[in-house]
Amino acid sequence: MGKVLFTGNKSKPSEHIVARIQEKLDCEFIELNEEKVKAAAQRGDVSLIVLYLSGLAQEDRGGLARILHDVDKVPFILAGSKEELHKYFGRTEARILRFIRTPLRFSAFLSEIKRILGKVEEQNIDIAKLLESESKVIVEEEQPKHILIVDDDPVVLRSLSNNLNGLFRVSVVKTGYAAVSFIENEKPDLILLDYQMPNCDGPQTLGMIRQLEGCADMPVFFLTAVNDANMVRDALSLHPQDYILKSAGVGHLLQKIEAFF
């Protein structure tokens, strides 16, 4: 298969997606820049461009519009939220083959890229007919995986939420008590639970969650800023699905979450 050019805002979700695509396909990442993307498209070795819309700044929108208008030799896949994608439905002059609505599991994301790339590279393919059949199709999951983040630090909540959105549905709460109240009304697929919080820490919160009806086996990853052997031992005795140091970084956390799902 030919090369995939992936472009968008440089963020942990996009870096993670590109790294995983590169394990399976020839994929190059370029942070969204009008001139660089156009130059790459003109080289002749790019078969498909993936435009990742999530997290783009307003000032990037003009350059993106010009890329869609001016690049006429390479087809596109656009990936983003429902609201972001609908802004580009009317771009009939652009060679958009597919809209991918995020959040979407990586396996489904990759499968769609491979399928479209294969169609683009078929012998004697009629691109006009392919555009007509593909351009209005949205690939999406009816229910993306839902992650609840529990942490008393607003900086951590904001960072994790920003980095997980686009890949998963994300909810956040600041206390253990708030987590219990949330879970009484809605069951997430995974909880990222800070081990050390004031008033009601991670172990206490987990104990209360497991007392709730239907939550005895609720999946939990403990997150902690402290690398202490005794704390690790105590945490693992509660049988969480994983115990992750915050210092390991968001990329490591994304790999753990993806492996879990």
Per residue in 131-163, pLDDT (tens digit) is 777 655 677 766 789 999 999 999 999 999 988
Region for residue 186 given its phi and psi (left: phi exceeds 0; alpha: psi -120 to 50; beta: otherwise): beta
**Mean pLDDT, rounded, of the chain:** 88
pLDDT over 80 at 128, yes or no: no
Position 87, amino acid: K
| Percent of the chain scoring above 90 in pLDDT | 50
Task: Tell how far CA 212 is from the center of its chain.
Answer: 30
Q: What span, in angstroms and rounded, lies between the C-alpha atoms of 92 and 101?
A: 19
Q: Please compute the mean of the pLDDT values over residues 33-44 and round it to a whole number.
A: 93
pLDDT over 70 at 221, yes or no: yes
| Percent of the chain scoring above 70 in pLDDT | 94
Q: Computed over its alpha carbons, how large is the radius of gyration of the chain?
A: 21
Provide the pLDDT confidence category of residue 179 given band limits of 50, 70 and 90: very high
What per-residue confidence (pLDDT) applies to 123?
A: 54
For the chain, the residue count is 261
Q: 49: part of which helix (H) or strand (E)?
A: strand 46-52
Provide the pLDDT confidence category of residue 37 given band limits of 50, 70 and 90: very high
pLDDT over 70 at 85, yes or no: yes
Instruction: List pLDDT tens digits, range 232-244.
Output: 788 888 899 999 9
